[in-house]
Structure 1
Amino acid sequence: MQDKALDILIAGGGIGGLTAALALQARGHRVRVCEATPQLKPLGVGINLLPHAVAVLDGLGLLPALQAMAVPTSALVFANRHGQAIYRDARGLGGGYSHPQLSIHRGELQLLLWREAAERLGEARLLSGQRVLAARTEGERVVAQLQASDGSHSELSADLLIGADGIHSALRRQFYPDEGAPRWNGMMMWRGTSRARPFLDGRTMVQAGHRRAKFVVYPIAPVAEDGLQLINWICDRRLREDGFGGGLSAPSREDWSKPGSLDDLLPTFGSWHFDWLDVPALIRSATQLLEWPMVDRDPLPRWRHGRITLLGDAAHPMYPIGSNGATQAILDADCLAQALQQGATPEAALDAYEAQRLPMCARIVEMNRQEGLDAILDLVEERAPAGFKRLEDVIDPAEIDALVRRYKAAAGHQQTR
């Protein structure tokens, strides 16, 4: 049993890194977080937190604050490009889970976690404007090399170092210098937010279309006094075709999260008028529009190197399918904190964390390369491109249900009924 309080340094103040900081501090460890951004702002768009991730945040006492700012997702609906429903998967409490599924603004969630970490750890232990460049081991200590936003350099020593510094992780690159750029599957994503009237029940997430063109939409804030709701939407359009699983070199990093253009979207999505949503009108009303490539990396053989390990996108970047990105990072954080509480030594604890999390996340990476649950959309598009009168004439609902159950089991969904 590892009962000694450890000095732990976390590289990265994103959702995974901050959740890890809170979980480790709750178990008595002394934690510092290095975040490269000098000042956090509520940037970004929406994400979904699956119930098992919400359960972790609830255990940290954050559920009331999350519920005040998020939307409890009632269902995930798959639809064709004509807006016809193919499958409705009940989510959250209504789907038999112990906790709600929450649709939330990524930036607002990160700021909430940062504020909580500042209060619980102490503001002095949150080092903004400090990027971890590399690390070395000296006996039983790890020494991290930092670069400040003003270009100056310094070092920090700790018992453990957790690399939660994202898909472009410097620590991952240190251990795997020949890995190269992230793998791109030829799909570009345009992500936006709009203020609009609620659609359907105001709590539903919809994925419509197929692997060449897909539209994802869900609300990420409660309905305001003016009757409008902040709606998150994503337009996926395949620019290059190379089969499943990526293999293309990703666009240069400088082109990530750049402002998008309606001219890139309306030729494809401009005619997607659903009975329950006017897609082009929603796109045109965007308050922000950003462009990203859909990328991942191959699963690693191991995450631990001495007393350094990886977490979240630094460990297992995956395509944003199945709401698994932030969710799996949060589960990493919880598992790591538990392993350190139970392990005989720090090294044994890191090995136990890796043994539990690496195989599952590698499996999700591979499933998402095969489109994950979005494969349902491809089946229906292939069999009924013009739409359908009766879904049963196109696909057996039992076939869809079996696919959903397999994916959810592999991704760690835990329904209580």
Structure 2
Amino acid sequence: MNIAIIGGGIGGLATAITLLKHGFNVQVYERAQALRPIGAGLTLTPNGLNTLNAIQPGLVESLKQAGSQMNTLILKRSTGEIIASKPLTALEHYGQPLLNIQWSRLQAILASLLPSDIIHLNHQCIGFEQHESSVETHFENGKTIQSDLLIGADGINSVVRQKLIGDGSPLYAGRMSWRAVIQYPHPLLTPNLATLITAADGKNFLLVDVGEGYTFWSAGALLADDSVCQRATDAKARVLEIFAEWADPVEAIIQATPADEIVERPICDRTPLQRWSEGRVTLLGDAAHPVVPSLGQGANTAFEDAYELAECLSLAPSIEAALDAYERHRIPRTEVIYIRSANQGNRSYKPESETTLQEMMKSSQMNQNEFEEWLYSYKPSENRKFVI
């Protein structure tokens, strides 16, 4: 089977790796002209790490060398006062840590596991046409390709999704975000630590060690207007103004970050779909089920998608049957994660955010514990019975 994947992000690359291992002929088409570093970090949770281990045994050990295993979460007020401190015990409970890593570092490691000639850069998908026995995909550079199956792994603004589903633009969640990755030594930024700083006026600031001497910072604020600044210097000035007079090291790390390395984005999601596929085309990752980043599950669920889609395609008697099994298993799980992410994200920016975030850190929150048990205990090798 010839399979084309639109999107060379971490979800698309993980999908290509596992499909190749199953013997499929895979090609990846990425719109960017180069796989360049971007100012983002992410957390790989036990469910995502278990899945990556199933996709490529030994991969997680490489990621641990490149990232940082988070062992402590500190919650602070914008004045610098510590509200709560929580030791993180994911490794003891689930056999895998909470692993923070640079998005670009993860992308590079995944890309290194693939033959270089299957990743095609500068290929912006502009549409596709389905035929009885193939899919014809068109690119902005004039190229057209034929495949037996097309997988849209092209993110929250997926071109494949718009052609397949046509549900318009993502939904603005009422919050603007700014983020960057920077080498910034500071006494308050110690290894294996994450610090969440909150204020009652709808602002949060996150500082995370992502390994190799880098810190990921992410700022979020309630804003009615979802428009972004046209110039990088204006975006930097904006985030500096919004977080002015916050306790050290907030202002200092923003100031130290070059303006062109700060990513300004509206926080968005999409209402869950009841189907991700039609004919010989399907969706994966943020193209299928984008969520706000309150639980850090975007990448982790994309890896789950990749593993299970490959399993379905290898075990089912037809593409139609494989995509049906893929949706039946994946959609219910991602719907739960969507609802939880949306609710927790909204509550984290309300005036009572300090109380909300503090309660989420308490081990006595059985509901939260039960959810984490369900979320993090996912092991792909135990899911084949659902696929067949």
Partner residue of 1:181? 169
Structure 2's unaligned 5+ residue stretches are 380-388
Structure 1's unaligned 5+ residue stretches are 1-5, 223-228, 241-247, 385-390
- CA distance change for structure 1 residues 219 and 146 in 2, over 3 Å: closer, same or farther? same
- CA distance change for structure 1 residues 125 and 200 in 2, over 3 Å: closer, same or farther? closer
Give the one of 168, 186, 193 matched to 1:204: 193
* Cα distance between partner residues in 2 of 1:25 and 1:343: 17
Give the one of 373, 376, 383 matched to 1:413: 376
CA contact under 8 A between 1:167 and 1:313: conserved in structure 2? Answer: yes
Partner residue of 1:54? 49
CA contact under 8 A between 1:312 and 1:329: conserved in structure 2? Answer: yes
* Cα distance between partner residues in 2 of 1:397 and 1:322: 13
Partner residue of 2:253? 282
Which amino acid is the alignment partner of residue 192 of structure 1?
Answer: A
* Cα distance between partner residues in 1 of 2:253 and 2:223: 23
* Cα distance between partner residues in 2 of 1:342 and 1:315: 22
CA contact under 8 A between 1:168 and 1:314: conserved in structure 2? Answer: yes
Partner residue of 1:28? 23
SS at structure 1 position matched to 2:377: coil
Partner residue of 1:387? none
Q: CA deviation at 1:326?
A: 1.2
- CA distance change for structure 1 residues 66 and 165 in 2, over 3 Å: closer, same or farther? same
Give the one of 192, 208, 224 matched to 2:180: 192
Aligned residues: 372
TM-score, length-normalised on structure 1? 0.80
Q: CA RMSD in A?
A: 2.9
Give the one of 231, 234, 243 matched to 1:269: 243
Partner residue of 1:38? 33
Q: CA deviation at 1:400?
A: 5.9
Partner residue of 2:326? 353
Deviation by residue 1:100-130 (Cα, 9 ceiling, x = unmatched): 2211111121122122212xxxx22221111
Q: CA deviation at 1:283?
A: 2.3
Partner residue of 1:401? 365
- CA distance change for structure 1 residues 269 and 360 in 2, over 3 Å: closer, same or farther? same
Which amino acid is the alignment partner of residue 280 of structure 1?
Answer: E
CA contact under 8 A between 2:363 and 2:369: conserved in structure 1? Answer: no
CA contact under 8 A between 1:257 and 1:291: conserved in structure 2? Answer: no
* Cα distance between partner residues in 2 of 1:268 and 1:33: 40
SS at structure 2 position matched to 1:370: helix
- Which shifted more, 98-107 or 189-198? 189-198
CA contact under 8 A between 1:18 and 1:114: conserved in structure 2? Answer: yes
Give the one of 143, 146, 163 matched to 1:157: 146
Deviation by residue 1:182-221 (Cα, 9 ceiling, x = unmatched): 1112211111233223646511222221570001110112
- CA distance change for structure 1 residues 335 and 353 in 2, over 3 Å: closer, same or farther? same
CA contact under 8 A between 1:196 and 1:282: conserved in structure 2? Answer: no
Alignment of 1:332-343 (within 5 A): 332-343=305-316
- Which shifted more, 168-177 or 203-212? 203-212
Percentage of matched positions with identical amino acids: 28
SS at structure 2 position matched to 1:220: strand
TM-score, length-normalised on structure 2? 0.86
Q: CA deviation at 1:167?
A: 1.1
* Cα distance between partner residues in 1 of 2:231 and 2:301: 22
Q: Which runs of 4+ in 1 moved over 4 A?
A: 255-260, 372-380, 395-400
* Cα distance between partner residues in 2 of 1:271 and 1:170: 41
- Which shifted more, 311-320 or 58-67? 58-67
Q: CA deviation at 1:165?
A: 0.8
Partner residue of 2:385? none
Partner residue of 1:235? 219
- Which shifted more, 133-142 or 184-193? 133-142
